[in-house]
Amino acid sequence: MAKRFKVTATGKVLRSRAGRRHLLASKSAKRKRQLAKTTSVDVTDVRRIKENLPFR
């Protein structure tokens, strides 16, 4: 879990977007560029993820 998520100083949990490992030829440059950005985890999943992290 620690390799997949990062907790910010304010307590938000960040994750990387799925869909950027393979089959990239059929995706537009704009789509690949947007997939490179990190995004925050949904509020409903934050508590569950934080419980499974070795650090808090």
Classify residue 46 by burial, with Cβ atoms within 10 Å: 0-12, 13-18, 19+: middle
Q: What does the alpha-carbon distance between residue 53 and residue 19 come to, in Å, rounded to a whole number? A: 24
Q: What does the alpha-carbon distance between residue 37 and residue 15 come to, in Å, rounded to a whole number? A: 9
Identify the band that residue 55 occupies on the pLDDT scale cut at 50, 70 and 90: confident
Q: Where are the domains of the chain?
A: 5-52
- Give residues with Cβ within 8 angstroms of 53, minimum separation 6: 1, 2, 5, 7
Q: What is the pLDDT of residues 15-49, one digit of tens each?
A: 999 999 999 999 999 999 999 999 999 999 999 99
pTM of this prediction?
0.85
CB 5 within 8 Å of CB 42: no
Q: At which residue do the structure tokens 């992290």 appear?
A: 53
Structure confidence at residue 54 (pLDDT): 94
